[in-house]
Amino acid sequence: MAERPLRVLLDGTPLLGVRTGIGQYTASLSEELASLSSVDTRAVAFTLRGWRKLRHVLPHGVRARGMPVAARLLRKSWLRGNFPPVELFAGSTDVVHGTNFVLPGIARAAGVLTIHDLAFIDEPSELSPSDADLPVLVRRGAARADVICTPTAAVADAVASRFEVPREKIVVTPLGVDPAWFTARPLSKEQRERLGLPAEYLLFVGAAGPRKGLPWLREAHAAAPDLPPLVFTGPGSFELSDRSMHLGYLPPVDLRAVVAGAAALVLPSRDEGFGLPVLEAMACDVPVVCTDIPALAEVSGGYSLLVPYREVDALAEALRSAVSDPHAASTSVARRAHAASYTWRLCAEKTVEAYRQAAGR
């Protein structure tokens, strides 16, 4: 007799609105889970007004459930206990997966919590007022969860140490690179001109924020007038100079073309949990310069130029090196192969392992 599929309920709230990194993770994971016969996947959105939109952004085969309560009120309630349990709104399930730092209240199901990074613990002053309770919520969720997922071993080690949870309770579920990145081509001359892009440019991809190291990047770029112009793409407000520009948030097909045409991608972050733009640039055969923090060193696998955070001269020199030798034969094939080893199918398979481990506890 065939084994019954594992019933899984995902927090699909990150799928609503503009897709940043966690939204992309949730979308790609849900698509892969939908293709697996071993799991029966549903998703729930914790929002008062937008939860009905969830059914329109889920992959075929994934059913939507709503929790029409303001997220702020749910968080306050979950700070004190498990009421209201998510099963009250979404029905019985084997596993509840908090995809975005917060583990919902649970009655009987096993709990799996994804912790993407620990920036909110290291720099709580940088949190928005609506996220002021996040450090306490995540600590409580980490203690309640049967299994914790992290995108890198670096984050897993930090979570085990900082939250005092057993390392064997944590499963590393690396993010994946969409296959479309490997066939991405630069924009045509006409497309570049339409966007106002120069023929050669350095590129930063990501949301503006204090942990992204952008003041340091601007300082290093200003100190090296021989470098190409600097282009920022992503949501938020960016401080610009006469040698930089901001393209805003780009849809995936345009973003791939902009990355593929860059002289180099730079990710000067103070803190990252994974750093997916590093692998996406490698898939396009674009050289990468990033900080030597543990997660980026792990993900880049020796195929990027690593620099210590806040060292202006080192960053400028690394960018010069990347631009002067962008497609070295000795590294081009290897870095693309390295990026290809990160797939969303592998992420889903590792996540299902986490579900089974949680359900078996």
Task: Express each pLDDT in 286-297 by its tens digit.
Answer: 999 999 999 999
Integer Cα distance of 141 and 109 in angstroms:
14
Of the candidates 190, 232, 219, 199, the residue with the CA atom closest to the CA atom of residue 323: 199
> Which residues does the chain have with pLDDT short of 50?
1
- In DSSP notation, 308-332 reads -TT-HHHHHHHHHHHHHSTT-HHHH
Phi-psi region of 200 (alpha: psi -120 to 50; beta: other; left: phi over 0): beta
Rounded CA-CA distance 114/141 in Å is 10
d(CA 245, CA 255): 15
Find residue 9's DSSP bridge partners: 42, 96
pLDDT digits 0-9 by tens, 220-273: 999 999 999 999 999 989 999 999 999 998 989 999 999 999 999 999 999 999
Q: What does pTM read for this prediction?
A: 0.94
Identify the CATH class of 179-340: alpha beta
Residue 84 forms beta bridges with which residues? none
Per-residue pLDDT at 69: 78
Torsion angle of C-alpha atoms 88, 89, 93, 97, degrees rounded to 10: -110
For residue range 141-177, what is the model confidence (pLDDT) as tens digits?
A: 999 999 999 999 999 999 999 999 999 999 999 999 9
> What pLDDT does 347 receive?
98
Q: How many CA atoms lie within 13 A of 204 on its CB side?
A: 32
CB 168 within 8 A of CB 270: no
For residue 47, the model assigns a pLDDT of: 84
From CA 240, how far away is CA 219, in angstroms rounded? 11
How far is it, in rounded angstroms, from Cα 213 to Cα 318? 15
The conformational region for residue 346 under phi > 0 = left, psi -120 to 50 = alpha, else beta, is alpha
287 burial type by CB count under 10 A (0-12 exposed, 13-18 middle, 19+ buried): buried
Given CATH 3.40.50.2000, say whether it is the number of domain 6-176+344-359: yes
Every domain of the chain with CATH number 3.40.50.2000 lies at 6-176+344-359, 179-340
Which residue spans within 57-201 are E strands per DSSP?
A: 63-67, 95-98, 110-114, 147-150, 170-172
